[in-house]
Structure 1
């Protein structure tokens, strides 16, 4: 059998399959079997981290900022010169928690207090229920997360994270 014959057979077999299955059904089945997702470009993660750090600097706080992709993998880490040694890991875990739980960690810290319904979430490895982790969304989907650590309180960490997201909002709009 020649290459030309094999191609002809493959084309006719594909056409016959399309006719027998109703054409669009095969394409629909393929679409249902695959998943598409978006993540931030590294340049956007850098811009977000820098804007979050600048926001905290403007408030007199030295922080670390972590940006993770939608799966919780670290994309960017930025630590200000006087931020504590613990802040990079804390920021990363806040960002990871935000994407993993699909919610900001300031809100999660309230529902995960001792005696609250979600208290057990505190015992999940890597989870850190302290304010400062915020999911990053674009077109209704989570595309990453940002975590800030080092400000005097989770409220300020959260505000700086949101300032970082605001700085890249136009870049993420599509």
Structure 2
């Protein structure tokens, strides 16, 4: 009797947990399409940011991260400090994570145990989210200029270089 009851329970569970049953109980799709930046777009952002900073007489490091916060393009100008590489990554990661310019976050998390104390998060001007049709698809961080405002203007120039193309891109 126990074996028969166990078989009935297992059969019921397997039917209930089958993909068809999951799709019927939920309006959520089983698979989702995710928009991602191409390498060429990420490279255009980084190169434009470098060029914008060079026009101001500044050599910087630029990191462009994808929507998961993973570095997609990293550029360091000849005279930019090595430290700028890590800082540019952290700014890009923070901008992507919070979907905000990092300058807007500088005074947001001030408590001793706030989110601003996390390893990858850096609440300092110089990071911008990269968006396509209102969806965050990455972030760019710039480091090495004498001020965060210059870093951020270079990051913004990088985003502006591809912004229209991203808005018009089909999906």
* TM-score category of the 2 structures, normalised to the smaller one: 0.7 to 0.9
Please say if 1:143 is aligned against 2:137: yes
- Partner Cα distance (2:146, 2:113) in 1: 24
* Count of aligned residue pairs for this structure pair: 148
The one-character-per-residue Cα deviations of 1:92-142 (angstroms, maximum 9, x if unpaired) are 111011111221111111223x46xx9712211211111111100011100
The one-character-per-residue Cα deviations of 1:60-103 (angstroms, maximum 9, x if unpaired) are 11100000001100000000000011011110111011111221
* Equivalent residue in structure 1 for 2:149, among 137, 151, 155: 155
- Partner Cα distance (1:143, 1:85) in 2: 26
- Partner Cα distance (2:101, 2:34) in 1: 21
TM-score (norm 2): 0.79
Counterpart of 1:110 in 2: which secondary structure? Answer: coil
- Partner Cα distance (1:151, 1:119) in 2: 29
Query: Where is the helix percentage greater, Structure 1 or Structure 2?
Result: 1
Provide runs of 4+ in structure 1 moved above 3 Å: none
**Partner of 1:11 in structure 2?**
none
- In the TM superposition, residue 30 of structure 1 has moved relative to its aligned partner by 5.2
- Partner Cα distance (2:132, 2:113) in 1: 30
* Equivalent residue in structure 2 for 1:47, among 44, 52, 55: 44
Superposition pairs of residues 92-107 of structure 1, within 5 angstroms: 92-107=89-104
* Equivalent residue in structure 2 for 1:37, among 10, 34, 39: 34
TM-score (norm 1): 0.77
**Partner of 2:158 in structure 1?**
164
Q: Which range moves more in the overlay, 47-56 or 98-107?
A: 98-107
* Equivalent residue in structure 2 for 1:127, among 121, 124, 129: 121
- CA-atom RMSD in angstroms: 2.3
Counterpart of 2:59 in 1: which secondary structure? Answer: coil
